[in-house]
Structure 1
């Protein structure tokens, strides 16, 4: 999944062959080709597809009856599920033409707390279903649009929305400038810790911000495989089974369950040998279907340790073609397996990925596999108000810059972004305009449900 179309698959970056100073100069020169103001000048194209049709077409092949479950809840829920709508819009937006490995779905809720293999809690991007090679601007625009829409739902006024987006962009610019001066080795060692007593931030936290973060970390630390066992499983004879909880958790027939178990055997070959040996000390107790996202197939696998009877939950989730795939060059052959694409993108962008992250194929469909409780939680959006919201948006800008710098030319991006707040103002304008469009698109989606145009569960 190289960042250079047509090259051999690699985890290498797209760094310039010149010096960092050369890259910065090249970035500054690109301001003449793509002015900062151009990023804020978004408006619907005359031929913009109907958003409802885009959602329905983008979800063809998924479990369509599940699509409306979450998307109809609010404009933010619609934004989360309508990556295909936004991908079309982003493809029409200005870019300096520098590709990196992007998350593809870097909205505000796709950042969270999770455990590293060393059992430290870190804060980072945590969803990579849409990852691919594309313009860095696309991630920053999806992030800033989501900040605006989430702020709307929290009752934040236009001035507050503008301030939060500017905060995120300013952090992205500042962090990218810092990373441009850092060696690749040091960049790869960067972590954003969330453990109690290790809130690692470059600014001093006031009591309100610190309390919000510590409250989230405390809640996340309580979520373990053992606590999940008591919540979603029940004794069955001498073993355990997942409790049926429709429509979120439902039973599988024996044939489908066997297909999943067979897929796990192939998955084992995609993780490191020491972790493969560890997993071989667990047996599959049960497999259930679990609703996630907007209709992608996913399974919850309950495994029980042979010696100690300890639980281990795994998620087996279908890898789908990214929404932005039609607008970028095709990936190299190995990464056209959608599960492998997700895994490789996550390993490159995250500061410390799940050691059990791997991929497989089940009944001809691509899947990736990860720990269910390796991801521990995120800060609830309704906790975010005023300065706390601005601070959180600022943190997300930092994290996104670090993720992009791992596969892109940080000096070139930093050179383009510059030191002034002109780019921040442009993105704030973009986010306000796209936020209003999202509200309108959500209303159209709900209207389509009410007349039966969109099937419901």
Structure 2
């Protein structure tokens, strides 16, 4: 065996550097024939609930950071035109720092993981890490940090990812799949008193978030019964359960068939009591998302989120999805990526053949309060998100090849940092064009 072959085998992925140098990952160029921002927003609004589009634009208009979160499709197009290694993983698709957080496992333990999979699809690993790194630059700028610190956040994400995926690529496969980032463990291992204080507060709040507390928070009593309280225009009723009883029955029956037997038995003990449309997030605004209140014979509540699943923004650049149902695409992608998933994850088809996926609502959820993170806390969060993403990619792709390509030096970290700053700059330009379109009356925007 030649020395060159030995080197190649001992460094999986290293040979890819010949065709895609690591420094090239820091270059951003706009693709040819890129649609205008107005055209891109109008295209992404197609099929959404029309009266909610002004709320979507209003939420995106608050800052470049919010605009970025609401437009994964624009970045998907931009990334697809750049050189990449062709190494695929189960990508999140909309991988930004607000799409990570804490939640309870089926064993009722609190863990930290990725938690939004509306755009998930097999895709190049670079797309996730570049989108995540850019989100940290924009968040740092939004929080009025120095430009050098904003760039460092992106480098910290890439460095944590690179070191973690090198470690995970060497792990026993089962150990990697069993691995979880448990939040009490993160608390105990943190060296930052600020981070410890924030985690303690978050854990305490999550432990108190029971279905019963959610019941009294978002419902109102009507003749001894409960129904979800209307809060126009963000929460309101669109379906008459009595008139559309048969449709709802078929929807739930189809959903139950996507669960494994024990979970189907558990869910069958609950009946639907009320259903209301709820406006959520930034990019999701205008897609159909419902809150379902369910009760069992003991009058114990269970809240479910019923969320519309559309084609992934990545699909135009990766090839056709193997799942015919977008709800199934989301669920299967989530199960692949997460260390533990909601036992009620499933999918169904509603009116007009729209695809949906279902999951439990607010199950001890911990959402990061990023807008109040200072440099120390945001830096720690950057490292954690980088590690979580690395585990997801090592589980679902060739972690050894990715690690071999990235190497031990910080060349790739610096390249990702350079790209993230350049793309954050582009996002701010796109945001300015977006505001001009609103001001000119070409896009409707409504402040809440």
**TM-score w.r.t. length of structure 2:** 0.93
Which digits, 9 at most, give the CA deviation of each residue in 1:205-227, with x for residues without a partner? 22122112222222222222111
1:139 and 2:125 are equivalent in the alignment: no
Matching residue within 50, 57, 80 for 2:36? 50
1:320 and 2:310 are equivalent in the alignment: yes
Between 1:229-238 and 1:37-46, the stretch displaced more is: 37-46
Shift of the 22–186 alpha-carbon distance from structure 1 to 2, 3 Å rule, reads farther
Mapped partners of 2:300, 2:386: distance in 1: 39
* Post-superposition offset of 1:452: 2.0
Structure 2 runs not aligned, ≥5 long: 1-5
Matching residue within 257, 262, 268 for 1:274? 262
> What value does the CA root-mean-square deviation take over the aligned residues?
1.9
Question: 2:336: which partner in 1?
Answer: 348
C-alpha contact (below 8 Å) 2:64/2:428 kept by paired residues: yes
Mapped partners of 1:104, 1:375: distance in 2: 25
* Post-superposition offset of 1:58: 2.2
Shift of the 204–135 alpha-carbon distance from structure 1 to 2, 3 Å rule, reads same
Between 1:104-113 and 1:252-261, the stretch displaced more is: 252-261
Mapped partners of 2:129, 2:244: distance in 1: 40
C-alpha contact (below 8 Å) 2:271/2:295 kept by paired residues: yes
1:107 and 2:96 are equivalent in the alignment: yes
Matching residue within 277, 293, 310 for 1:302? 293
Question: 2:3: which partner in 1?
Answer: none
C-alpha contact (below 8 Å) 2:344/2:358 kept by paired residues: yes
SS at match of 1:336: coil
Structure 1 runs not aligned, ≥5 long: 1-19
Question: 1:163: which partner in 2?
Answer: 152
Mapped partners of 2:177, 2:8: distance in 1: 23
C-alpha contact (below 8 Å) 2:308/2:355 kept by paired residues: yes
Matching residue within 48, 68, 79 for 1:62? 48
Question: 2:237: which partner in 1?
Answer: 251
Shift of the 21–300 alpha-carbon distance from structure 1 to 2, 3 Å rule, reads farther
Which digits, 9 at most, give the CA deviation of each residue in 1:38-65, with x for residues without a partner? 1111032342221221122123111244
Mapped partners of 1:210, 1:456: distance in 2: 39
Which digits, 9 at most, give the CA deviation of each residue in 1:315-361, with x for residues without a partner? 000001111111011122xx121000000000000000101000000
Which digits, 9 at most, give the CA deviation of each residue in 1:21-52, with x for residues without a partner? 96652411111111111111103234222122
Which digits, 9 at most, give the CA deviation of each residue in 1:139-195, with x for residues without a partner? 001101111111110011111012111111111011100011112111110000113
Aligned residues: 433
SS at match of 2:186: coil
C-alpha contact (below 8 Å) 1:192/1:200 kept by paired residues: no
Question: 1:219: which partner in 2?
Answer: 205
**TM-score w.r.t. length of structure 1:** 0.91
Shift of the 136–257 alpha-carbon distance from structure 1 to 2, 3 Å rule, reads farther
C-alpha contact (below 8 Å) 1:21/1:411 kept by paired residues: no
Q: Hey, which bits of structure 1, 4+ residues long, moved more than 4 A?
A: 20-24, 255-258
Between 1:95-104 and 1:376-385, the stretch displaced more is: 376-385
Question: 2:434: which partner in 1?
Answer: 445
Shift of the 256–84 alpha-carbon distance from structure 1 to 2, 3 Å rule, reads farther
